[in-house]
Amino acid sequence: MHVEHFYPGWRGLAAGARWLVDEVLVPWRRGKTVRLREWDWHRDRFEPGGLLPPGDDLVVEGCGAISRDSAPLADLAVWLDGDEPLRRRRAAARDGGDEWWDGWRAQEDAFYAAEGSRRLADLVLGPDAGVDELLALLERRG
pLDDT attached to residue 130: 67
**What's 91's domain CATH number?**
3.40.50.300
Query: CA-to-CA distance for 120 and 127, rounded, in angstroms?
Result: 18
Quick: pLDDT tens for 17-67.
Answer: 999 999 999 999 999 999 999 999 889 999 999 999 998 789 999 999 999
> How many domains are contained in the chain?
1
pLDDT attached to residue 133: 73
Kindly report the pTM of this predicted structure. Answer: 0.87
Task: Determine the structural domain holding residue 26 and report its residue range.
Answer: 3-141
